Structure 1
């Protein structure tokens, strides 16, 4: 995963270097480089969601329908 991230940041850096103005380069670095990297790091650091099996054991048992 780090290799893909490094490759992405390299591509974004080269895209920013090719821009005409410094402001445009900084905007590209922020929106295509920093922001996605930050969001990906936040998702990777977040605790995993509880599993459905664990939640199913905490629920009340369902009513059984009696068929005659």
Structure 2
């Protein structure tokens, strides 16, 4: 859609996030975060933003783990 603001690139700051989350030893191809800890990303957009625009970011972590029965 013409004029639509879309992300063109995301920098996951793998090195600094990996150190902060103690996940540097995991694959560098996908970000690995720990629950409850802040992380940094930089999102590059298809065009400059205008003042007053609002953005939302939704993070999904997958299904909640179930505790074993009988505990």
Q: TM-score range by the shorter chain?
A: under 0.3
Higher relative contact order (CA 8 A, sep 6+): 2
User: Which of these two proteins has the greater Rg computed from alpha carbons?
Assistant: 1
- TM-score scaled by structure 1? 0.26
